Amino acid sequence: MCAASVVLLFLFLSSITSAAAEETNSHISLSSSLTPINNPSWFSSSGTFAFGFYHTPNGYAVCISFSSYLDRSSTVVWTANTEDPIVPNNVVLLLTEGGLVLQNSVSKETLSKIGNSSQPIAGASMLDNGNFVLLNSRGSVVWQTIDHLTNSLLPGHRLSPGAQLLSHASETDLKKGFFRLKMQTDGNLVLYDSDSLDVSEDAYYASRTDGRGNNISLNLESDGHLYLFDGTSIVMNITMGGNPASGVLYLVRIDADGIFRVYNRSLQRQDDWRSIWSVTEDRCLPKGLCGINSYCRYKDGNAADCRCLPGYDPIGSVVWGAGCTAKLVVDCSDKDQSSKFMMTRIQNVTWEDNYYSVLDGSSEQGCEEACLKDCSCHVALFRDGQCRKQKLPLRYGRWLKVEDVAFVRVSKSSTGSSWPLRHKRRHFDLHVILGVSSGTVGLLILSFVIIYSTRRRRRWRKEDKLKMEKFLLKHQSLAPKRYSCKQLKKITKCFRDELGRGAFGIVYKGKLSDGQLVAVKVLKESHDNAEEFINEVVSISRTSHVNIVNLLGFCYHRNKRALLYEFMPNKSLDKFICKGGSTLEWKILYEVAVGVARGLEYLHRGCNTRIVHFDIKPQNILLDQDFCPKISDFGLAKLCMKKQSAISMLGTRGTVGYIAPEVFSRNFGVASHKSDVYSYGIMLLHMVGSKYVEMVSDIYFWDKVYERVLMQNERVDDLVTEEEEESARKMLMVGFWCIQTSPMERPSISKAVEMLEGKLQSIHIPPRPFLLSSPPPQISSFISCNCRCAKLDSNSHPTPCSCLVANIKTNG
Ligand SMILES: *[C@@H]1O[C@H](CO)[C@@H](O)[C@H](O)[C@H]1NC(C)=O
Ligand SMILES: *[C@@H]1O[C@H](CO)[C@@H](O)[C@H](O)[C@H]1NC(C)=O
Ligand SMILES: *[C@@H]1O[C@H](CO)[C@@H](O)[C@H](O)[C@H]1NC(C)=O
Ligand SMILES: *[C@@H]1O[C@H](CO)[C@@H](O)[C@H](O)[C@H]1NC(C)=O
Ligand SMILES: *[C@@H]1O[C@H](CO)[C@@H](O)[C@H](O)[C@H]1NC(C)=O
């Protein structure tokens, strides 16, 4: 008995000492440093993991990997800065009080920082479970890599609600790739095309556990058990585990091919990872694996291969998955399309169902002919007696045994054209991508900017007409009344009373036969904005809200288009706020602010259709006799039912100043409902500013307001009541919140309503918006590109990159 306790005591003591040894072994003290070649890594105590410089074919990256003493590449489980992981060779990684900094080894200039904390750092450690931590002086963790997972999940770690894993661009390129695994806050675990928003059209796997709580996380245990857990119970078992836990390593990863897998390996270093579970065996399932105008097909068993549509060639011969293009110059004035083009029939290929026109009751042959005749039809899909005409680009193509037959427009003369690529290798495979340098991609992007940034004029095509007729038929009961040109003349007394003019056309006052006053917006005769017109009619007729202008009718006849709205005696908000020295009382300004926010909230949260307006500005806020605001002018509005909000803003006519930065440049985020929030914020500020004449002339006006009112708590206005002061202050605070540069930091419009109507004390002070920092930044002209996501602008050109060149002057 006594001997047994001695043994126990011994075991106890030895476990303590080994734990202490572990700590000291892996503890990294301040001023420790790493360099890529001579001293690349810090190891965990057992030597399983290494943190530091990792050699890739493109250069060094800062990573955590399974350490490898043998001369072969080890597996990376975490990467610093996935947007741009490659660092120069002449750097040093130094642990300082301010964090882990990457410096130029000669100039000592700081290039980037890994890990941030408000507390001073006193040490760091590469733990044996694969977590790299920064510690404060008390030894507590202040930053850790498991809070910023990249492509892998290790045993004992979890992917928390809202977090995601990102695939690498390829097996050897550690940059952010084309796929992501998101643990959504709604409880669903979803795989998406990495450029997409979280919309179901772009998803290719979902655990279907949404609605099971908002604290569901993905967890991996050391026996290989992978499951969704809500904090108290298991929501779903993905793999059952129960495998040996000692001597075996497990790893969950979203691979470069978009498939999410569980791997195991023995501790023996020469052993290799083996996939023991994978979300699918279908290698063509990941959406976006093959780029636009191509499709995925199996090759040799189940390896995925991307192939171009007939007549199309890879964009860049080596970029796997970059998609395909054809040099088809379709001249719409040419009545005889069949002299230049023909249709090629393909079978068993499908892609995203995104037709612009559908012909019912057609035959296969009829479908082929209809597409050939229609200069904007590039591909027609014949399915169940329906002919679905589509424009480029096509997304998510894949080979599947289906009944569908597709017809692809190809050039008859392509053999004699200056496009000899037809004879080149048509398909390109997974292995080729591994050697691609990012420089090639950059060049490609640039050439596409040049080739495709000129937008073609859009005509009032037959399809637009068809679309309109179809819409009218479908929404007979809901659609606004249609008026003829003759009736319009009568209503407006031959267009006598002009109310206003804009870029779009002229607004006239009119009177219906029942005596109701109307505003008639006659659009400029143009071939360009057919789509906008339809958008406007469709968008507004689906809405009904006190803060949204009521569409009473429309006129549509060839190029003549007009919209009839209820008449607003007080015209638009800009008449009151744009000059400075506004006469509107604070109370009215505040009510207008709340009304506009409510109208926007209705648009953004609409139950069957979500609408993003994209052109919120005072000119588009109409005021009725009681100064009740009504949002108007839905020309740019996009219905976001299908594509949510990833929208090409080519040809935008939103108003500079009111346009959110992400609408110009993808660097700031993706255009979305938060872009409306930005415009709304600018408008709120202008409403407050309208009380001051200085707003117009003083370029530092907003800096002063931010400084004095928000920071130093000065009153907004001296002569007003407490209640008015509070409303004005709320408008300012909400305004500053709404114009944050990052869309994520802006509140939703519902939250803005809540803040405006709630207590002033419960609104936090907004960070100083970037655009206010003085001196104002001089943004001259910049180009933004949105590649790979192939935003489906309903343009007849292939637009693999939607680009926008904007000239913005920020001062004066
Ligand atoms: C660290 O950086 C993130 C993102 O840049 C930021 O949200 C967070 O507030 C920072 N944390 C600290 C303690 O500075
Ligand atoms: C959420 O779940 C995690 C475990 O998965 C748990 O630690 C945490 O306490 C839970 N949070 C809440 C708010 O329930
Ligand atoms: C998940 O697996 C565990 C055993 O590993 C089992 O006890 C549990 O009931 C399973 N839960 C579900 C939801 O299947
Ligand atoms: C990996 O897991 C499988 C069962 O899923 C098991 O058969 C195999 O032995 C494991 N590999 C190692 C190296 O333990
Ligand atoms: C398409 O699939 C069917 C089977 O559904 C097959 O009989 C046919 O040969 C396939 N066509 C082509 C062109 O591969």
Tell me which range, 299-313, 445-459, 787-801, is most confidently predicted by mean pLDDT.
Answer: 299-313
In this prediction, residue 391 carries a pLDDT of 82
Q: Ligand 1: distance of its center to the CA of 246 in Å?
A: 37
Lowest-pLDDT range of 163-172, 246-255, 611-620, 657-666: 657-666
DSSP conformation letters of 768-799: PPGGGSSSPP---EEEEEEESS------SS--
Strand residue runs (E) in 145-247: 152-153, 158-159, 164-168, 176-183, 189-193, 203-206, 217-220, 225-229, 234-240
Q: How far is CA 373 from CA 333, 336, 395, 404, 463, in A?
A: 11, 8, 23, 21, 12
Ligand 5 atom with the shortest distance to the CA of 348: 1
Q: Ligand 3: distance of its center to the CA of 153 in Å?
A: 20
85 and 138 both lie in a single domain: yes
50 and 191 both lie in a single domain: no
CATH of the domain at 610: 1.10.510.10
CATH of the domain at 493: 3.30.200.20
In this prediction, residue 313 carries a pLDDT of 80
Nearest CA residue ID for atom 7, ligand 5: 401
User: Which positions are catalytic?
Assistant: 615
Q: Is 544 in the pocket of ligand 4 (CB under 6 A)?
A: no
In this prediction, residue 799 carries a pLDDT of 28
602 and 535 both lie in a single domain: no
Ligand 1 atom with the shortest distance to the CA of 142: 13
518 and 604 both lie in a single domain: no
Does residue 350 contact residue 319 with C-beta atoms inside 8 Å?
A: no
In this prediction, residue 720 carries a pLDDT of 81
Tell me which range, 143-147, 493-497, 671-675, is most confidently predicted by mean pLDDT.
Answer: 143-147
Please write the tens of the pLDDT for every residue from 693-706.
Answer: 777 667 677 788 88
Is residue 141 domain-resident?
yes
Q: Ligand 1: distance of its center to the CA of 718 in Å?
A: 38
Ligand 4 atom with the shortest distance to the CA of 247: 14
Average pLDDT in the 254-281 region? 88
Q: Which ligand is nearest to the CA of 218?
A: 2
Please write the tens of the pLDDT for every residue from 154-164.
Answer: 999 999 999 99
pLDDT range class, residue 411, cuts 50, 70, 90: confident
729 and 597 both lie in a single domain: yes
Reference 24, options 48, 53, 44; nearest CA is 44
Task: Give the three-class secondary structure for 281.
Answer: coil
Does residue 276 contact residue 287 with C-beta atoms inside 8 Å?
A: no
Q: Ligand 5: distance of its center to the CA of 401 in Å?
A: 6
In this prediction, residue 31 carries a pLDDT of 93
Q: Ligand 4: distance of its center to the CA of 271 in Å?
A: 12
Q: Of 280, 315, 338, which marks where a domain is finished? A: 280
248 and 315 both lie in a single domain: no
Residue from 146, 215, 221, 226 whose mutation best tests the ligand 2 pocket (most atoms within 8 A of CB): 215
Lowest-pLDDT range of 76-90, 232-246, 442-456: 442-456
160 and 141 both lie in a single domain: no
C-alpha 268/C-alpha 641 separation (Å) is: 52
Task: Give the three-class secondary structure for 628.
Answer: coil
Ligand 3 atom with the shortest distance to the CA of 240: 5
Is residue 403 domain-resident?
yes
C-alpha 17/C-alpha 358 separation (Å) is: 75
Total number of domains constituting the chain: 5
Is residue 797 domain-resident?
no
In this prediction, residue 229 carries a pLDDT of 96
pLDDT range class, residue 681, cuts 50, 70, 90: very high
Q: Is 240 in the pocket of ligand 3 (CB under 6 A)?
A: yes
Is residue 485 domain-resident?
yes
Is residue 618 domain-resident?
yes
b/e per residue 210-226 (b: at least 16 CB within 10 A): bebbeebbbbbbbbbbb
Please write the tens of the pLDDT for every residue from 578-601.
Answer: 666 677 888 999 999 999 999 999
The two tokens of residue 114 are: 């890994």
pLDDT range class, residue 53, cuts 50, 70, 90: very high
Lowest-pLDDT range of 88-92, 97-101, 604-608: 604-608
Domain of 320, in residue numbers:
306-411
491 and 594 both lie in a single domain: no
Query: 775: cis peptide before it, omega within 30°?
Result: yes
Residue from 116, 117, 118, 119 whose mutation best tests the ligand 1 pocket (most atoms within 8 A of CB): 116
Is residue 665 domain-resident?
yes
Selected residue with higher pLDDT from 88 and 426: 88
* 79 CB-contact burial (10 Å; exposed 0-12 / middle 13-18 / buried 19+): buried
Q: Which ligand is nearest to the CA of 406?
A: 5
Nearest CA residue ID for atom 5, ligand 5: 401
The one-letter amino acid at 794: S
CATH of the domain at 334: 3.50.4.10
Angle of helix 673-689 versus helix 749-757 axis, rounded to 10: 30
Torsion sign (Cα): 596, 600, 605, 610: positive
111 and 29 both lie in a single domain: yes
Q: Of 523, 540, 566, which marks where a domain is finished? A: 566
Ligand 2 atom with the shortest distance to the CA of 215: 1
What is the overall mean pLDDT for the chain? 76
Q: What are phi and psi of 695, to 5 degrees?
A: -55, -35
b/e per residue 746-785 (b: at least 16 CB within 10 A): bbebebbbbbbeeeeeebeebebbebbeeebeeeeeeebb
Is residue 433 domain-resident?
no
Q: Is 615 a residue whose pLDDT tops 50?
A: yes
Task: Give the three-class secondary structure for 501.
Answer: strand
Does residue 540 contact residue 547 with C-beta atoms inside 8 Å?
A: no
CATH of the domain at 232: 2.90.10.10
Give percent of the chain above pLDDT 70.
73
Residue from 295, 298, 398, 401 whose mutation best tests the ligand 5 pocket (most atoms within 8 A of CB): 401
Q: Is 223 in the pocket of ligand 3 (CB under 6 A)?
A: no
Q: Which ligand is nearest to the CA of 116?
A: 1
- Residues flanking ligand 1, CB < 6 Å: 116-118
Ligand 1 atom with the shortest distance to the CA of 143: 13
In this prediction, residue 299 carries a pLDDT of 81
Does residue 285 contact residue 210 with C-beta atoms inside 8 Å?
A: no
In this prediction, residue 383 carries a pLDDT of 86
In this prediction, residue 804 carries a pLDDT of 28
C-alpha Rg value of the chain to the nearest Å = 30
Nearest CA residue ID for atom 5, ligand 3: 240
Q: Of 232, 265, 280, which marks where a domain is finished? A: 280
Q: How far is CA 811 from CA 419, 507, 682, in A?
A: 47, 32, 15
Q: Which ligand is nearest to the CA of 238?
A: 3
Q: Ligand 2: distance of its center to the CA of 194 in Å?
A: 27
Is residue 294 domain-resident?
no
C-alpha 656/C-alpha 619 separation (Å) is: 13
Q: Ligand 2: distance of its center to the CA of 206 in Å?
A: 22
Q: Ligand 1: distance of its center to the CA of 116 in Å?
A: 6
Average pLDDT in the 399-425 region? 61
554 and 586 both lie in a single domain: no
Neighbouring C-beta atoms of residue 578, cutoff 10 Å: 17
Give percent of the chain above pLDDT 90.
29
Q: Is 466 a residue whose pLDDT tops 80?
A: no
Q: Which ligand is nearest to the CA of 224?
A: 4
Q: Is 756 a residue whose pLDDT tops 90?
A: yes
Selected residue with higher pLDDT from 554 and 726: 726
364 and 388 both lie in a single domain: yes
Residue from 348, 350, 402 whose mutation best tests the ligand 5 pocket (most atoms within 8 A of CB): 348
In this prediction, residue 482 carries a pLDDT of 80
Ligand 5 atom with the shortest distance to the CA of 403: 5
240 and 222 both lie in a single domain: yes
In this prediction, residue 95 carries a pLDDT of 95
Average pLDDT in the 685-700 region? 77
pLDDT range class, residue 216, cuts 50, 70, 90: very high
- Residues flanking ligand 2, CB < 6 Å: 215, 217, 229, 231
In this prediction, residue 664 carries a pLDDT of 63
